[in-house]
């Protein structure tokens, strides 16, 4: 299992900033690398699902605890 390459904290930011920061992080890593994103934006739940379906990156895991959403992405 690959380690997390980049952690992106977008708590306090609203759409579209969590997704834009995730895209930037993915652009800066190699294929197969993992990016973990944390967000407080409820809309990010749908946004990250749609983004990974359209981009080909993998959404390995997502969770919500206490209003904080965490996504584990793997670059295609």
Q: What is the pLDDT of residues 22-60, one digit of tens each?
A: 999 999 999 999 999 999 999 999 999 999 999 999 999
DSSP run (H or E) holding 52: helix 44-55
**pTM, rounded to two decimals:** 0.94
pLDDT at 4: 85
Residue 9 has pLDDT above 80, yes or no: yes
User: Regarding predicted confidence, which is higher, 3 or 31?
Assistant: 31
Whether the per-residue pLDDT at 14 is higher than 60: the answer is: yes
What is the C-alpha to C-alpha distance for residues 48 and 2, in angstroms, rounded to an integer?
Answer: 20
DSSP H or E segment with residue 47: helix 44-55
Catalytic position from the list 6, 15, 17, 72: 15
Catalytic residue status for 15:
yes
Rounded to whole angstroms, the Cα distance separating 31 from 39 reads: 23
- The helix (run of H) or strand (run of E) holding residue 68 is strand 68-74
Which contiguous run of DSSP H or E holds residue 4? strand 4-9
pLDDT at 3: 83
Closest CA to 39 of 6, 11, 8: 11
The CATH architecture of the domain made up of 4-8+16-74 is 2-Layer Sandwich (3.30)
């Amino acid at each position: 299992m690959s380690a997390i390459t980049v952690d992106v904290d977008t708590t306090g930011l609203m759409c579209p900033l969590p997704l834009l920061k995730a895209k930037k992080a993915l652009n800066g890593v190699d294929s197969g690398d993992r990016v973990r994103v944390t967000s407080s934006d409820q809309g990010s739940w749908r946004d990250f699902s749609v983004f990974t379906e359209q981009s080909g990156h993998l959404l390995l895991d997502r969770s919500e605890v206490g209003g904080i959403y965490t996504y584990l992405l793997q670059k295609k």
